């Protein structure tokens, strides 16, 4: 078997099933070469290859990268298994190319199976490296396949099965898109934004006043602040970027997604929410913001067993349910367990005793001090000794609370940086 040639630096990787769509990929490759790009091709098709252009990584290499034999995948006759394994193998190869610093962008095309392979592989490419997928499924819900990645989907309009007047236009748009993205990224790398560091911050409509004030104060101190909407997808994206080393610190004001995971709300970010900062050991300030609520769509979307609970119409298509004392005891324990895994001296839990959201304030519909107390007591009893707890009588949306949150985070960043430098000198 021929060894795949060494990839040139800063190349655009073209990925897909060349066995069935060779003509389409040849056209895409020629467009990229015409724009003076370096192009590297990876064939993920199990039926064969193409002689219309040079293939840099053969399908045999892709299967082997997944620990499988291409001949075995063919003989099994199980298309689902083959698609999954070729996606995994392509991901391994792409990850290696990224680690070498070779990838300027990735572009792929596919129908049902090809789209799965391309999107699976692109998950291995970190945020900021351009990723474009031309797909027959682009107008369908591909949120599970795309996840929190910054993949751009381009509807193919027609099937990807040979060139025609429509497919030429679509492929041309996609080629121009990846070319422009790669050029912009290269220019941005030559003039990077100079800051004291990047801070992730979580927000919701109910905590916007707090987050806006925190962001202003942090930017005044020279930090780049990147907000994430705590709507499920936002939390997953934030955790993914934290895990990828994109941030220097986290101001997790709005942890409401934990409540949605517990109660089946629509803003569920999954079990990995509130785990990445602890795993990386970066400074984090955690606030139980909006744990007083669970999110559903319009009133008729609320599960029947919750219809007798306290509900609030935030907008015609968003209904909020007040969490009860038992749920808050569970949420307090969950938050304590997740934050408690952080290395000592890297995490602070900040408790606004005046209320956790815009609705949880004196006179507000969700104001319930006894439920708040259940959350706080559970949290305190579950936290490890390595996590500091700072309590304030302020409401989460008071300007004074935002100032305190920023002060605590900045101090934590300085302490962690000092400890890191001291450790290097030992």
Report pLDDT for 3.
Answer: 42
Q: Which of 1-10, 179-188, 193-202, 227-236 has the lowest mean pLDDT?
A: 1-10
Contacts with 158 (C-beta within 8 Å, 6 or more apart), sequence order: 164, 166, 167, 170
- Position 158 scores a pLDDT of 97
pTM for the model: 0.86
pLDDT of 4 above 60? no
- Span 234-252, average pLDDT: 96
Does residue 1 have a pLDDT over 70? Answer: no
Percent of the chain with pLDDT over 70: 97
CA distance 82 to 72: 9
pLDDT tens figures, 377-400: 999 999 988 899 999 999 999 999
In this predicted model, what pLDDT tens digit does every residue of 246-289 receive, in sequence order?
A: 999 999 999 999 999 999 999 999 999 999 999 999 999 999 99
Q: State the Cα–Cα distance between residues 399 and 317, nearest whole angstrom.
A: 30
pLDDT tens string 328-343: 999 999 999 999 999 9
pLDDT at residue number 109: 98
Closest CA to 294 of 330, 329, 275, 318: 318
N- to C-terminal Cα separation, the chain: 50
At CA 71, angle to CA 65 and CA 74, rounded to 5? 105
User: Measured on CA atoms in the order 146, 152, 154, 155, is the torsion positive or negative?
Assistant: positive
Radius of gyration of the chain (CA): 25
Q: Report the alpha-carbon distance of residue 147 to residue 116 in Å, rounded.
A: 12
For 352, the enclosing helix (H) or strand (E) is strand 347-352
- Residue 9: pLDDT band with limits 50, 70, 90: low
At 6, is the pLDDT very low, low, confident or very high (cuts 50, 70, 90)? low
Q: Which residue has the tokens 């952080």?
A: 342
Tell me what the pLDDT averaged over the chain comes to. Answer: 95
* Predicted confidence band of residue 425 (pLDDT cuts 50, 70, 90): very low
The mean per-residue pLDDT over the stretch 19-43 comes to 96
The confidence band for 191, taking pLDDT boundaries of 50, 70 and 90, is: confident
Phi, psi dihedral angles at 11 (to 5 degrees) = -110, 160
- Residue 43: φ, ψ to 5°: -95, 120
Out of 200-209, 331-340, 412-421, pick the least confident: 412-421
Mean pLDDT across 176-205: 91
**Structure tokens, 76:** 């099994």
In the chain, the percentage of residues whose pLDDT exceeds 90 is 91
Average pLDDT over residues 296-310: 97
Count of Cβ atoms closer than 10 Å to residue 194 Cβ: 7
pLDDT in tens, 67-123: 999 999 999 999 999 999 999 999 999 999 999 999 999 999 999 999 999 999 999
């Amino acid at each position: 078997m021929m060894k795949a040639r060494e990839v040139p630096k800063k190349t655009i990787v073209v990925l897909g099933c060349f066995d069935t769509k060779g003509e389409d990929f040849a056209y895409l490759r020629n467009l990229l070469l015409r724009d003076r790009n370096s192009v590297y091709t990876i064939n993920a098709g199990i039926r064969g290859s193409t002689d219309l252009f040079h293939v840099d990584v053969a399908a045999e290499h892709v299967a082997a990268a997944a620990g499988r034999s291409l001949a075995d995948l063919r003989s099994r006759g199980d298309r689902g298994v083959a698609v999954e394994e070729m996606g995994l193998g392509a991901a391994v190869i792409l990850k290696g190319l990224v680690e070498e610093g070779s990838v300027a962008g990735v572009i792929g095309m596919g129908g049902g199976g090809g789209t799965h392979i391309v999107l699976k592989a692109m998950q291995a490419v970190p945020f900021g490296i351009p990723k474009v997928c031309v797909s027959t499924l682009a107008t369908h819900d591909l949120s599970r396949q795309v996840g929190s990645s910054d993949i751009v989907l381009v509807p193919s309009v027609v099937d990807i099965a040979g060139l025609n007047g429509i497919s030429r236009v679509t492929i041309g748009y996609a080629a121009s898109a990846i070319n422009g993205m790669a050029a912009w990224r290269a220019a941005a790398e030559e003039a990077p934004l100079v800051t004291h560091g990047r801070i992730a911050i979580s927000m919701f409509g109910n905590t916007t006043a707090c987050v806006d004030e925190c962001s202003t104060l942090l930017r005044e101190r020279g930090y780049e602040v990147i907000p994430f909407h705590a709507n499920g997808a936002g939390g997953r994206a934030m955790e993914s970027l934290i895990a990828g080393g994109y941030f220097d610190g986290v101001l997790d004001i709005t942890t409401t997604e934990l409540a949605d995971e517990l109660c089946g709300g629509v803003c569920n970010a999954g079990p990995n929410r509130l785990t990445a900062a602890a795993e990386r050991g970066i400074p984090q300030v955690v606030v139980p913001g909006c744990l007083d609520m669970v999110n559903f769509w319009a009133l008729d979307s609320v599960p029947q067993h919750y219809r007798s609970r306290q509900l609030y119409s935030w907008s015609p298509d968003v209904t909020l349910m007040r969490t009860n004392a038992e749920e808050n005891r569970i949420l307090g324990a969950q938050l304590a367990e997740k934050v408690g895994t952080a290395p000592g001296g890297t995490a602070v839990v900040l408790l606004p005793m005046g209320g956790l959201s815009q609705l949880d304030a004196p006179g507000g519909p969700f104001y319930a001090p006894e439920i708040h107390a259940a959350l706080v007591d559970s949290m305190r009893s579950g936290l490890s000794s390595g996590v500091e707890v700072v309590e304030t009588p302020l409401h989460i949306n008071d300007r004074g609370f935002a100032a305190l949150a920023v002060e605590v985070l900045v101090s934590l960043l300085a302490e962690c940086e000092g400890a890191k430098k001291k450790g290097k000198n030992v």
